[in-house]
Every structure is written in structure tokens, then in C-alpha cells.
Structure 1
Amino acid sequence: MDAAMLKYVLVGGGVAGGYAAREFVKLGVNPGELAIFSKEPVAPYERPALSKAYLFPESPARLPGFHTCVGSGGERQAPEWYADNGIDLHLSSEIAKADTKSKTITTAQGKTFEYGSLLIATGSTFINLADFKTPGADAGGIHYLREKDDADKLVEEIGANKGGEAVVVGGGYIGVELAACLALNSIRVTMVFPDPHFMPRLFTPEIASFYESYYKAKGINIIKGTSVTAFEKDDQGNVVKVILGDGRSLSTNLVVVGIGARPNLGPFKGLLEEEKGGFKVDSSFRSSAEDVYAVGDIATFPLKMYGDRRRVEHVDHARKSAIQAVQAIKAAEKGETVDDYDYLPFFYSRSFDLSWQFYGDNTGDSVVWGLDGASASGSKFGAYWINDGKVVGAFLEGGSPDENKLLARVARQRPSVSSKKDLISGGLDFAAKI
């Protein structure tokens, strides 16, 4: 059978997929020209909700409430939106095979489609302890969080374990956010991770100490500097004990693992040039294959303001890179080009009553200000990172929207600074004067 021909094919039903679809509609797409293939059974949604409001004990987030593009204040794109705009939404349709020479993709169900332009937005997948051959890692009661189905299973387990205990493996983004959600659900939480403190890739020891103290005050036990080496199961194959590298063991029947993610290159691996774990793309997210673009977590792209190439795993980049790629696709059809992608790295997190944002680069020396006396929600403190005499990164806990915009401006402009004392004494005022 001949392959069905589609002008635009978008593979991936996550955040990037939803924002790309919106941009296609904005720039003009005729009914039947765009098809989206997603292995998930639901239309694209704002994935960060899964480790936050989806797990709240009161007024939890549920679909259709957080379909894209509500995460940035846009229209909610429920399944009806795609139908109304003539977009073919193929759900539960994972792509199993691709051929960039014949410009075809084939689903796991065996259906083949030919494309004119292909946009890959397959995101990341979680790192599984089974990948490290951890004994007992296949036990029931061990959860990972990446998709809505994962969150649904975790919600069910949380409901069955009210007043019980849980072990969270990992002290990064997901581990920190999930530990907070479990505690909010009246579960006694123990966090285990090998690092010396929370989120070592971003937090300084001083910043991490604040958050760890806050978590301990919420009843969360923190075990640092050791790893999980094994799990013990009961006769039904469910987890009953977590064995640690320092010889300790923790009894529990609920484990949540958040030890990082890896880009999901899927059937496109080996077909496109790779760099730093992702597909190498240009400033418009064109890959090494003709008419193939890759965005979000899987793209290693030129980071213009720093003059290097990076792969960024974050929802903000997923949204913006998807928009950039669609604009490039549509411009190329008219023989035009788009401006280079000029991205400012941005990360944020919310847990309990805390909320922080970070902009820029955390290289060089760090300067923390306002942390003395900060011990509870409502505290406001921050940090700057200085490299070659310039402020290249800015962090703020408890900032207002306007204050957070000041951080972005500092990180974007990278002002020169004469001394660390100026930053410590100036704090947020330093950013306000830029």
C-alpha cells in the first residue's frame, strides 16, 4: 500500500507538540496538512503539572484543565481544538520506524505516512533504576513520573497510603517536587540521594541548606551521600524495603524515583547527526536530514548568547524552540529565513509555599544575598553568578512577577560588577538599577 502523504508531520504529543500546533495554526495551515502522532492517549498537555498540582490533595489539576497552551496564558487546546483546526491527532500512535531518505514514518500499528516536513518533539524519558541492574528494581510499588498514566498510578497509590511512608529516590527537580507533594498528602517521606545537598547542578550549599531545613520542618527525612543498592519484595512481588549503600534499610511499600531523564531519540537515532546526547540542529532547529527539525529536550542547538552549543531540558525551551522551528518551516516555504534562536536559559520550581526562578548561566563564582534569617515561606533571598567580571546568572526565591523580570534582564545584559560586596549589599536593588 502506498504511504499516505502529509505536508507536515509532528512526532510527539508533549508540550513542544502543543505549542508547535498552535504556531502552525497561527501562521496558516489547511485542513489535513498537519498530523500529530503521540504515543500517549491524550492531547498535548503542560507536563510540569504532573509533579505539582496533579498530585495535590485538594483541588488537583485534571484534564482538560491543563492542555496546552494554558501554561503560558494561551488558549486551551482540548481535542476539539485540533479537530476544529483541521489537524489530524493520532493518539496512542507511537512511531516505530522512520526513513529520512524516503521521508516516511511508520507507526507501531504498521501504518506508513510520507511527509513534506517533519518536526520531532519526542522529549525525554525517565532514567530507570533497572538500567543499572539494581536488584528488585522491577518490584511493584516503585513509581516513575513522566506521563499522565504514570501520574494516575501514583495518585492511586497515594490514596491507598494516606498516613503511611514513602521513599523518594533523588534530590533533583523531580525528587524535590514529588517529596513535597507526598508530604502534602499526609505521607511520611524519606528522601535518599548520593549528592551532598539538594539540586547540586544549580543550588549552592547555602541555598540548598535553606530548602533542606524547610523540608525537614515539614517532617521530611533527608538521607544524603548514599544510593539505593537494592529493593526487597514480598511474596506478591511488591516492594517492602529499600536497601541503602551505607548499610541502612528503609521499610516502605511506596517508592518514587526521580534520578533524571535522557532524551528520547526513538527510531530517529542513527538517522540524524548527534551531539551531546541530542540531535545536532542549527539556530532554526534544522537537523542534518533534509526537511527534518528537532526541538525541545532532544535538540542540541547553538546558544547564541554564550557562543556554545547545549541541550536544554525545560518546558520554557520546549515551548520556544517549537515556535522557532515552525516559523522556520513556514518561512522556508516562501524563500525567507527567521532570526537566530536567541534563548536565555530559564528554570523554576514550586513546592509547598516556596517558589524560585533562575535565569542565565550558573558558571563562575556565586554570591548569595538575603539568606541570613530566611527560614520560612515568605522569605526572599537570591544569588548571582559572576564570570569574567560579569553577572551571568541570577536566582530569586519568593520573587514577584516584576522582580523575576529584573532577574531576566540582568542575565540577558550580563552587567559588569566591581566586587562581590556590591552584589551582597545591593541584592535585588542591584538588578533594579540595570
Structure 2
Amino acid sequence: MLPDLFQTRQAIRSGALGARTEMERCLSIATSEACHHAFIGPLFESAPTNAERVPADAALAGLAVSIKDLFDIAGQPTPAGSVVLSHSPPAPADAPAVARLVAAGGVPIGRTNMSEFAFSGVGVNPHHGTPANAADGSTKRVPGGSSSGAAVSVATGAAFIGLGSDTGGSIRIPAALNGIVGFKSTARWVPTQGALPLSTTLDTVCAMTRSVRDAILAHEILAARRVSAGPNHLRDCRFAVARELFQDGMDPAVARAFESALSKLSVAGARIEEISLPALADLPAINSTGGFSAAESYAWHRLLLERSAAGYDPRVAQRILRGAPMRAFEYIDLIHARAQWIDRMTAALEGFDAVLSPTVPVTAPPIADVAPGAERDDAFFALNALLLRNPSVINMLDGCAISLPCHSAGDLPVGLMIWHAGLRDDHILGIALLAESQLRE
């Protein structure tokens, strides 16, 4: 298991490790085959000196962080995994999320690859190549998206925090598939300014890490707030497991890992109850006209598409164009329907500390199955829908969720998602700390 940020920071503070030495180790990984295609805007040259300049008592102590390509970095364009924006004007300032990481002593080592314009949960990019999942050295498997390079940077050991975004699962999906921790906070906690939008309604700025305690630290930095203490013991927790939707179509490896995780938490004293969430069945009708991502991405991209459609990933353009036919009253109806749905879901979850679900119902398939090419479009869109299905529920809920590895050693990674409605972030993080120790046994 890779050392987490807390362990490494302690080694730097004690003098047992130098920040420059650790940065050079991270960069050796970032430039290796393990991170091929993970970085599309490297900042490798300046990173060792920048790390050396950070005081050892800074929160991030000069340790490596990676920045998803949709965030502004002062003096650079923000292409968001595209080629049509590769020559756009340089950003005048860092995005607030980037600035907060740097102010806390994090050293960006590069812009990470992503699904073009963040519009896919698979992580395939036809322009810059697709970084291979870090969990399998023999078969190149999908990394998950859209924060694909961010996940690979953390899972390989190149970075301690992978800054990304989550609109329908873009942090939790790659975290689950790569066997790391991905926390999606309640969206309002972290500013989205300086991040190229997919859906202004659903976008959440958040991060992937190697441990839950690192996730708490990353959230505290990004949200500029302190996380309050959570429950003291799992026996104090009452968990729900939804009968509908979340467990549909699980492959055998995911089913085994999920049942094992529930068993471990139950043995530790957690009360786990299966419940019905009939409101989940309403989501297809609520989103039948395309949903927020299609409508809001089309509003942002329509003029660029008119000028440069040939430069887009055709799979991304197809999804954006779903927003073109949506009428104003349908968009307003969607806003009202979501608000009413959130009320029904929140009421149904009252009395539970969290809900437990598989983050995604499958393990990572080979990249070759869904690589760019019209002959593989059907397979790509089927996988994309399956990967987004579970985590996107929490974005619609305006909720918070964390994905923790729950697979056995030697198996492909599987994520356990612990989630609830909005503004329960601290409680979810506290539960995740307790659960993590049980799942690792």
C-alpha cells in the first residue's frame, strides 16, 4: 500500500525525508510508463525547486498534487481535454481550488488528462490518448472518468491529491476503478469559478486521495472549513441499503466485494437495513428531455460547436447536442422536479446515518473494448451509462458521497459508496474513517 499524505508529511516534518527528494520520486513515477497519457500539461521542471521552498509545517508540506485539465492555472490555456480550446487565451489567475491547494503548500506537477469537456464516465480521450488503469499491469483497462488522469496520478503514487470535478460521478468512478478514495462534497462547499463547466447545476469541485484522512484534509483545504468530528464507533451507525437500482447488474466480483463489505461493517456493530427508495424510479422521467448536463453544456458549447464541431470527440458532441431541443419550460420544469425529488429522497433517508451502495456495478473493462471508433460506440455508451448510473443519483440529490476500496487483495478494484443528502459531509467523512479500518482488515 502506498504511503498517504499524512505519513509522508510526518516524515518531512521529522527530517527523515526531504520535500525535494519526495518530489523527485513522484516525478519519476509521473514520467514512467505507469502514467503514460495521464499528464497532458506537465509542470515537472519547476516542481522540485517549488517543493523545496514550502515550509515543512505547511498543511501539504510541498507534496505533489495534480490538477485536472479543466481548472485555470495562471498563464496557461484551459483546454479541458480538448483540442478546440488548446490555443485559447491563458487564464489570468489560478482557479480558487488550485490557489487554495498551492496556498496550503501543495505543488502542482501538471494538468491531468480527462474525458473531453468532462462528458463521460469512461475516461477515453481520442486526442491525448487514454491513461491505463493503475490496478492492472497486464491488461490496459479503462481508468474511469472524467477525472481519468487525476485518478491514475494518485493511484500510481505520482500525486497525493488529484484535483478533479464530479458532475455525475467523475471523481468516484475513477476512484472506484483504480482502488483509491474519492470524496464528492456537497456542491456548494467549494467554488467552481475557474473551472470550465459541464453542468452549472451539478458540477462539484473535489478530489481523490489515498486515504480517508487525506480526503478530509483535501476537503478542508478546498472548502476552507474545518470538518467536525463524526461518530465514535460503527455500532452508533444505522445504514440503509437500497433495494432498487444500485445493485442491478452487478458483476460477480462487485457483488462479492459489496457483500463482504456489508458483512465486515455489520460484524463491527453497524446496523444495516435494506430499504425501498421508490423515488429512484422517477429519475428517467425527470431527465427524459436530456437532463441538466445536456442543457447546460449545450448553452456553453453551442457557438463553439458551430465553429469547430469537427474538432470535438464525436461521442461528446453527440451528448452535448442532446441539449439543443430542450425548451425553456422543460428546463424550468426540470428544476422544479429535481427540488421535489430531493425532498422525497431526503424524507425517505431520515433516521439513517448513510446509505451503502456499490460505487459502480462493474470492474474496469479493457480500453480496447471502448476505444475511439464508431464500431465500438454502442459498447462505449452502454458502459458509460452503467458507470454513471449509481453515482449520478447523489449529484441529482445535491448530496455528498465517498468511494472507498472494498475489494480483496489481488482482485480488480471495487468501490463502496457511502452517501447521504446534502450538508452531511462531516458525518459521511467520519463514517468513512471508521469503515476504512474495517474494510482493510
Going by fraction, where is strand more abundant, 1 or 2?
Answer: 1
TM-score by length of 2: 0.27
